[in-house]
Structure 1
Amino acid sequence: MEGKDPVAKVPRRYWDDMWLTDALPAPLDFSSGVRVKPVSRHIRDFVAAHVGHLGPAPTVVEVGCGGSVWLPYFRKVLGWRAAGVDYSPRGCALARRVLDRAGVDAPVHCCDLFAPLPELIEAFDAVVSFGVAEHFVPTSRVIGALARFIRPGGIVVTMVPNLTGWLGALQKRLNRSIYELHVPLTPASLAQAHADAGLEVLEAGYVSTADFYVAIADGKTDEAQLGPRLALKGMRLLSKVLWLAENLSCPVPSTARLSPYVGCVARKPG
């Protein structure tokens, strides 16, 4: 694949600072009777619908695994042979702590996804990423880099925040500097990036109903922020109402305006 070299919209120190914490994220638990955000179930179902067809114990690498709660779930619950890759040493350390808490043995490799360790190239059946691809331009170049981790016939599962909907509009008002670290992508543009990387697109679409808790405010309390903050409170309340409907078995469709994520699945030729 030819084209411009990828340019990161996020400096490395951003990731190191993000993972400068002693707190571990809550583990995923989809057991009956356990209250969980429907968003997490939708992400799980989107990924598992495709990776699950690769065999009883597919090899799966999560790129951008810093502090990941998905690695232990993939290995312990779904039985996938999971591994992680992250650019930040702090992110890798946190991912290992999360795995240790779950009693899961899975390797975590600290390396640049554009310069992977030789033993990781074409070593997996699937590569998944949550919130990675939108931090680079052009998007097709990072997708091509992700595809290097999988064998011919393997799949790339890419999930990015939906910043072309109301979430993006609010994020731009609440904290423009955070918004500008991302490339807003639609299902069509994300699918095109996978196609431009030489992959066969299997599915692309909006994922889940709503989750305005992922919006990040800038900490300011001036009057200019009053409107956006009130809007954020309202949208978070709407998120809870939609989650309640989902938990009461009332399906809520994914939409361009409200869905928190955009997902794409594509196959590597061969």
Structure 2
Amino acid sequence: MDNQLTDRAFWVNYWESKTGLSVNIPANYLFHQQLQQIIVKNKVQTAIELGGFPGYYAVFLKKYFKLDVTLLDYFVHRPITNKLLEVNGLQESDIHIVETDLFKYALEIQYDLVLSCGLIEHFHDTADIINRHIAFVKPGGTLFITLPNFKALNGWFQKKYDKANYDKHNIDCMDPALLANICEKAGLEVQQSRYFGNFSLWLENEQEKPKAVRALKKSLWLAGKLFTKVFPFNSKQLSPYIIVEAIKKAN
């Protein structure tokens, strides 16, 4: 069975449907605290973002931490990434870009930090895709993976109102214990594997959805935000993300 739940045509259509991709990345970008802690603690100098087009985290790492950054994806539309760099005060040469199939790529160098945000859930074989990440990590380096938690309320909403998008995700992999176990079996020291964020709700291409669905989404979003502002906690039921941080043991 093909390991991928998506293909290149899916991602071409996905990104071509988006507007306003060239945004100014703020210093408090999602997961900024976790990444800053990793970079400072482990003296990170090099990083690669896997499956990250248009390169938001690659830009974030270059802009605020001056890392030597690479972006690898099997669909890269250079004008979009170049515009993103320009908006953030960077040059085209500030980020190394590799447009290739991760499953066919001949690994040449390893990195202090290997990250992906919203990649591993698009594959059937979770252990395989994580091990492909690990291959990029230097001994002593850090693996940082984030993915959506569709076992939460957000997942129910996706399944009910955007089934096509929901079906492009491997729901079974959205399990912190499973992800930690895969990393441990690969010889990594897991620093954290947990649900992250108090609450959020989203729809892809929201403006194309019926007005009633958009109204329901807005009301649920407001209710969830108010509730978790009063009672802030991370949970399987409400947290929109899962994060995994693990260190590759030095030789």
Give TM-score scaled by structure 2 length: 0.85
Aligned to 1:115, the other structure's residue is in SS state: coil
* C-alpha distance 215-103 of structure 1, shift in aligned 2 (>3 A): closer
**Does residue 251 of structure 2 align to residue 254 of structure 1?**
no
Q: Report what 2:4 is aligned to.
A: 8
Distance in 1 of aligned mates of 2:234 and 2:68: 30
Q: Report what 1:140 is aligned to.
A: 127
Q: Report what 1:100 is aligned to.
A: 86
Counting only pairs closer than 5 Å after superposition, residues 158-177 of structure 1 correspond to structure 2 as 158-177=145-164
Distance in 2 of aligned mates of 1:266 and 1:138: 19
Distance in 2 of aligned mates of 1:156 and 1:204: 11
Cα drift, residue 142 of structure 1? 0.4
- Of 33, 51, 60, the match for 1:45: 33
The amino acid across from 1:235 in the alignment is L
* C-alpha distance 254-152 of structure 1, shift in aligned 2 (>3 A): same
The alignment yields a C-alpha RMSD, in angstroms, of 2.7
Distance in 2 of aligned mates of 1:87 and 1:93: 15
Which portions of structure 1, spanning 4 or more consecutive aligned residues, are displaced by more than 4 angstroms?
A: 214-221, 228-231
* C-alpha distance 6-143 of structure 1, shift in aligned 2 (>3 A): farther
- Are the aligned partners of 1:190 and 1:264 in contact in 2 as well (CA < 8 Å)? yes
Q: Report what 2:178 is aligned to.
A: 189
- Are the aligned partners of 2:114 and 2:143 in contact in 1 as well (CA < 8 Å)? yes
Q: Report what 2:24 is aligned to.
A: 27
Give TM-score scaled by structure 1 length: 0.79
Cα drift, residue 145 of structure 1? 0.5
Distance in 1 of aligned mates of 2:207 and 2:122: 19
The amino acid across from 2:219 in the alignment is G
- Are the aligned partners of 1:170 and 1:215 in contact in 2 as well (CA < 8 Å)? no
Cα drift, residue 144 of structure 1? 0.6
The amino acid across from 2:222 in the alignment is L
Measured against aligned partners, the alpha-carbon deviations of 1:66-103 in whole angstroms (never above 9, x if no partner) come to 1232222211212322221111032x542333123223
Cα drift, residue 239 of structure 1? 4.9
Distance in 2 of aligned mates of 1:159 and 1:189: 14
Segments of structure 2 that go 5 or more residues without pairing to the other structure are: none
Distance in 1 of aligned mates of 2:204 and 2:235: 17
* C-alpha distance 239-251 of structure 1, shift in aligned 2 (>3 A): closer
Q: Report what 1:18 is aligned to.
A: 14
Distance in 2 of aligned mates of 1:63 and 1:150: 12
- Of 60, 72, 77, the match for 1:85: 72
Q: Report what 2:191 is aligned to.
A: 202
- Of 223, 234, 239, the match for 1:238: 223
Distance in 2 of aligned mates of 1:96 and 1:230: 35
- Are the aligned partners of 1:28 and 1:69 in contact in 2 as well (CA < 8 Å)? yes
Aligned length: 244
Cα drift, residue 173 of structure 1? 0.5
Distance in 1 of aligned mates of 2:95 and 2:61: 10
Distance in 2 of aligned mates of 1:220 and 1:74: 34
Counting only pairs closer than 5 Å after superposition, residues 115-154 of structure 1 correspond to structure 2 as 115-119=104-108, 121-122=109-110, 124-154=111-141
Distance in 2 of aligned mates of 1:218 and 1:180: 20
